[in-house]
């Protein structure tokens, strides 16, 4: 192993005692490859097994906590106890390769395709359709129905119930998906949340739903987990819409989250060193730098975003984040971490090889999306 990269392969211990064997984790990525009934497929299990040997922790694709929260075709479910055997199969397949298994839990809200949810009725914080993605892109006249306060409380409970299922299925943790425009972010955003009750209006009220979910999930862990169990929270720093989430609003949310009983925060970025759009004084300082300043040493932050080479990872790690997530990079090269450990970092592949789907163990649905989405993956 090249000593330059040695720090990336050192262990990391969370405050609750769970130890990771190195600083590289697999980022959560939708793979569109589950069965129609919400159970995981053998192809999906093989895909995770192929990528769980080198990394210290695998964060799965998001799973829906209620039937009306299913956001993708081919998404696996965790909305009822009948899904526990399916979840168990997934957790075991990851852990058998030596990685910690973390289940990402979410509700798609206004981004859900109508054909995937009961009665075709999409719901959200308010009746504001999405401007980027979701059903409204193709059907702009389709608006989400605002959730009632009772339904909001039921969804908060559902996040707790899904956490219980994750514990029973043998996962090492859950990650609350508060990023990428889905329901939790929809409540935090002034674009998608125009409510005037206790869940909308001021910044503090827009934070009420995300923070209530955190409190519910952590309380369930205390009640049901018999050994240390991780709870993370993923967030997107900004939105392009006006009005939309700004960097200063996210820093206030992150400040509140850092004081909760969470084990880590996980920023969602396409580029690690991306800079803020608005809301802060210095637009030349990276979002990562702002986040680290706000968080301090209260809670670990997972950094992510186009970290393709060993040098990319080394440079990102030097910024001070204790953990790095690789997403597309591990689809392109499942042996990324092993090559680093073996001193073969120059052999790390950084572009998708269109001739090696079988060798890379990528399920057909995910492969088809990769191949037909120019610009998403290098080499396509």
Q: How do residues 340-358 score in pLDDT, each as one tens digit?
A: 999 999 999 999 999 999 9
Q: How far apart are CA 165 and CA 159, in angstroms?
A: 10
How does DSSP assign 66-85, residue by residue? Answer: SGGG--STT--B-SSGGGHH
- The answer to whether 63 and 364 have CB atoms below 8 angstroms apart is no
- Residue 332, pLDDT > 80, answer yes
- Residue 317, pLDDT > 90, answer yes
- Residue 136, pLDDT > 70, answer no
Report which of 306, 207, 294 is spatially closest to residue 248, judged by C-alpha positions.
294
- Kindly state the average pLDDT of the residues 16-28: 98
The pLDDT confidence band at residue 61, using thresholds 50, 70 and 90, is very high
Angle 18-19-25 (CA atoms, 0-180°, nearest 5)?
Answer: 105
- Residue 140, pLDDT > 90, answer no
Q: 3-371 belongs to which CATH class?
A: alpha beta
Catalytic residue among 48, 182, 290, 308: 182
- Kindly state the average pLDDT of the residues 17-28: 98
Q: How do residues 222-266 score in pLDDT, each as one tens digit?
A: 999 999 999 999 999 999 999 999 999 999 999 999 999 999 999
Told to judge if 308 belongs to the known catalytic residues of this protein, a careful annotator would answer: no
Q: How far apart are CA 86 and CA 194, in angstroms?
A: 38
**Token pair recorded at residue 38:** 């919400």
Token match 């990324």: residue? 336
pTM of the model: 0.98
Half-sphere exposure of 7 (CA within 13 A, CB side): 14
- Kindly state the average pLDDT of the residues 49-58: 98
Q: How far apart are CA 24 and CA 61, in angstroms?
A: 17
- Kindly state the average pLDDT of the residues 42-55: 98
Report which of 287, 267, 291 is spatially closest to residue 275, judged by C-alpha positions.
287
Q: pLDDT value at position 141?
A: 74
- The answer to whether 329 and 336 have CB atoms below 8 angstroms apart is yes
């Amino acid at each position: 192993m090249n000593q330059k990269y040695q720090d990336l392969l050192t262990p990391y211990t969370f405050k609750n005692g769970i130890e990771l064997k190195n600083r590289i984790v697999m980022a959560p990525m939708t793979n569109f490859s589950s069965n129609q009934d919400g159970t995981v497929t053998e192809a999906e299990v093989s895909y995770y097994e192929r990528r769980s040997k080198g990394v210290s922790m695998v964060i799965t694709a998001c799973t829906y906590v209620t039937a009306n929260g299913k956001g993708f075709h081919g998404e696996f479910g965790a909305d009822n106890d009948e899904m526990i055997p399916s979840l168990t199969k997934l957790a075991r397949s990851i852990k058998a390769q030596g990685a910690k298994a973390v289940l990402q839990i979410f509700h798609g809200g206004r981004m859900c395709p109508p054909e995937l949810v009961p009665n075709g009725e999409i719901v959200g914080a308010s009746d504001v359709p999405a401007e980027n993605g979701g059903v409204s892109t193709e059907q702009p006249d389709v608006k989400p129905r605002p959730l009632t306060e009772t339904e909001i409380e039921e969804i908060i409970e559902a996040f707790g119930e899904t956490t219980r299922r994750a514990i029973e299925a043998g996962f090492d943790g859950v990650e609350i998906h508060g990023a990428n425009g889905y329901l939790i972010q929809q409540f935090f955003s002034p674009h998608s949340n125009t409510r005037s009750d206790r869940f909308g209006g001021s910044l503090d009220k827009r934070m009420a739903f995300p923070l209530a979910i955190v409190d519910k999930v952590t309380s369930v862990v205390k009640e049901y987990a018999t050994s240390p169990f991780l709870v993370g929270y993923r967030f997107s720093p900004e939105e392009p819409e006006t009005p939309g989430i700004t960097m200063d609003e996210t820093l206030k949310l992150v400040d509140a989250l850092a004081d909760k009983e969470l084990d880590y925060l996980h920023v969602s970025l396409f580029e690690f060193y991306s800079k803020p759009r608005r809301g802060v004084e210095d637009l030349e300082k990276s979002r990562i730098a702002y986040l680290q300043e706000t968080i301090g040493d209260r809670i670990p932050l997972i950094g992510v975003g186009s970290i393709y080479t060993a040098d990319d990872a080394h440079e990102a790690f030097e910024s001070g984040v204790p953990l790095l997530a690789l997403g597309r990079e591990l689809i392109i090269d499942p042996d990324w971490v092993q090559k680093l450990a073996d001193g073969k970092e120059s052999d790390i592949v950084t572009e998708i090889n269109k001739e090696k789907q079988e060798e890379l163990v990528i399920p057909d649905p995910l492969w088809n999306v990769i191949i037909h989405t120019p610009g998403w993956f290098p080499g396509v």
